[in-house]
């Protein structure tokens, strides 16, 4: 058994978060949440095993936290497990954790499939109990985009998803894999696990209800759900016309990640301020404001007159501005 202490777990979370921020900052909330739920579910399953002392829960925890870290830098989704494995190894986490990363996708990839997909010529099948637990937990977790919430589903749903995506044969393999894990855990453990699933799904539902009430309009716009036309977008920010323009041209430039205000800029991805202001300059140029000049404003907090609590830069142009501002 590999000793995994709290420091190593904390290092795993930091490692995951720093890579998300460096590569795909806009995925931060979703990816961290996914890792957390898979971690909780996998640990619960691990504790339900009758031969619990033979299971390395530290490895399960690290594997669940890090299994998807490769999504940040994988060029193709199908390569993300291998990318996770490589990143986990580079960061000197235990080899057993790297293998969880490599072998967690679906119910694994056999050698023939790996060849067909242009992956290294070997199989990537979950083998150890720790690998299979993380894989099982990951397969049950589903994100329902229309309802903006997660749900833990059952084996039948996982079979259905994989059959639709990858064909009958993969669907059958999914069933065999899931059933194998369930038989090892046994009816008593699975009974308790099913109660846990009901409880967790109840929590997800309550949380999504709560979040619907404190929804952020600018997050919706950044997600493409708002009723506005974007005048500019890139990986880290989007821009659109202010609904109540204070100048012939009045654009709002916002980061995709939710930050309440400029005061929270440090919590954002590294280099965000630079990126945001560079984008503002580019947009001003694009809209032909650069030669006559324009004004940029960031209102922060009550004294700053901020009314929407998602960081935004006002870009105002098309008329001469006054000073001092009101």
Give the H/E segment covering residue 155.
helix 155-166
- Note whether 308 binds ligand 5GP by CB under 6 A: yes
Comparing CB distances to ligand 5GP, the nearer of 17 and 260 is 260
| 56 secondary structure, DSSP code | -
- Note whether 307 binds ligand 5GP by CB under 6 A: yes
- Note whether 258 binds Zn ion by CB under 5 A: yes
CB 78 → ligand 5GP: shortest distance, Å?
Answer: 38
Both structure tokens of 282: 């580019």
Instruction: Give the C-alpha separation, 244 to 272, whole Å.
Output: 26
Comparing CB distances to ligand 5GP, the nearer of 3 and 229 is 229
From 290, 288, 287, 307, select the one nearest 298 (Cα to Cα).
307
Across the strands, what pairs with 295? Answer: 316
Residue 291 and residue 317 in contact, taking contact as beta carbons nearer than 8 Å = no
Comparing CB distances to ligand 5GP, the nearer of 178 and 253 is 253
CB 81 → ligand 5GP: shortest distance, Å?
Answer: 40
CB 225 → ligand 5GP: shortest distance, Å?
Answer: 11
CB 151 → Zn ion: shortest distance, Å?
Answer: 24
Handedness of CA 92, 5, 108, 76 (dihedral sign): negative
- Note whether 310 binds Zn ion by CB under 5 A: yes
Residue 63 and residue 46 in contact, taking contact as beta carbons nearer than 8 Å = no
Among 78, 141, 217, 277, contact with ligand 5GP (rule: CB under 6 A): 217
Give the footprint of ligand 5GP on residues 219-258 (CB under 6 A): 228, 240-244, 252
From 290, 293, 297, 284, select the one nearest 324 (Cα to Cα).
297
Residue 66 and residue 12 in contact, taking contact as beta carbons nearer than 8 Å = yes
- Note whether 299 binds ligand 5GP by CB under 6 A: yes
Comparing CB distances to ligand 5GP, the nearer of 156 and 243 is 243
89 binds, among Zn ion, ligand 5GP, none (CB under 5 to 8 A by kind): none
Residue 42 and residue 137 in contact, taking contact as beta carbons nearer than 8 Å = yes
Comparing CB distances to Zn ion, the nearer of 103 and 258 is 258
From 53, 64, 40, 47, select the one nearest 192 (Cα to Cα).
47
CB 311 → ligand 5GP: shortest distance, Å?
Answer: 9
299 binds, among ligand 5GP, Zn ion, none (CB under 5 to 8 A by kind): ligand 5GP
Give the footprint of Zn ion on residues 214-243 (CB under 5 A): 216, 218-219
Catalytic residue selected from 104, 236, 312, 314: 312
296 binds, among Zn ion, ligand 5GP, none (CB under 5 to 8 A by kind): none
Give the H/E segment covering residue 111.
helix 111-116
- Note whether 136 binds ligand 5GP by CB under 6 A: no
Instruction: Give the C-alpha separation, 23 to 118, whole Å.
Output: 24
Count of residues in contact with ligand 5GP, rule CB under 6 A: 13
Residue 16 and residue 87 in contact, taking contact as beta carbons nearer than 8 Å = no
Whether 250 sits among the annotated catalytic residues: the reply is no
Bond into 324 cis (ω within 30): yes
Altogether, the residues listed in the chain come to a count of 326
Comparing CB distances to ligand 5GP, the nearer of 27 and 309 is 309
The residues of the shown chain that bind ligand 5GP, judged by CB under 6 A, are 217, 228, 240-244, 252, 299, 305-308
């Amino acid at each position: 058994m590999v000793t995994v202490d709290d420091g190593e777990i904390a290092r795993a979370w930091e490692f995951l978060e720093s890579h998300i921020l460096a590569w795909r900052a806009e995925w931060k909330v979703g990816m961290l949440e996914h890792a957390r739920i898979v971690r909780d579910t996998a640990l619960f399953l691990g504790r339900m095993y009758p031969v619990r002392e033979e299971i390395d829960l530290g490895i399960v925890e690290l594997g669940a936290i890090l299994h998807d870290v490769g999504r940040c830098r994988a060029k193709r989704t199908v390569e993300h497990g291998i990318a996770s494995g490589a990143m986990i190894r580079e960061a000197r986490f235990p080899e057993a954790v790297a293998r969880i990363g490599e072998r967690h996708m679906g119910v694994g990839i056999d050698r023939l499939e790996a060849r067909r997909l242009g992956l290294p010529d070997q199989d990537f099948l979950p083998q150890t109990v720790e690998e299979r637990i993380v894989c099982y937990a990951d397969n049950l977790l589903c994100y329902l985009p229309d309802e903006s919430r997660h749900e833990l589903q059952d084996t039948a749903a996982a079979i259905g998803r994989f059959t639709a995506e990858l064909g009958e044969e993969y669907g059958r393999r999914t069933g065999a894999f899931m059933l194998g894990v369930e038989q090892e855990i046994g009816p008593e453990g699975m009974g308790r696990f099913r109660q846990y699933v009901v409880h967790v799904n109840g929590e997800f539902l309550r949380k999504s209800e709560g979040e619907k009430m404190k929804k952020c309009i600018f997050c919706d716009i950044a997600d493409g759900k708002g009723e506005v036309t974007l005048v500019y977008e890139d990986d880290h920010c989007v821009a659109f016309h202010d609904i109540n323009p204070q100048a012939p041209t009045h654009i709002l430039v916002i980061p995709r990640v939710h930050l309440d205000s400029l005061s929270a800029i440090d919590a954002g991805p590294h280099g965000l301020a630079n990126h945001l202001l560079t984008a503002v300059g580019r947009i001003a140029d694009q809209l032909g404001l650069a030669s006559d000049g324009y004004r940029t404003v960031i209102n922060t907090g009550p004294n700053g007159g901020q009314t929407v609590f998602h960081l935004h830069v006002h870009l105002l142009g098309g008329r001469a501005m006054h000073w001092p501002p009101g």
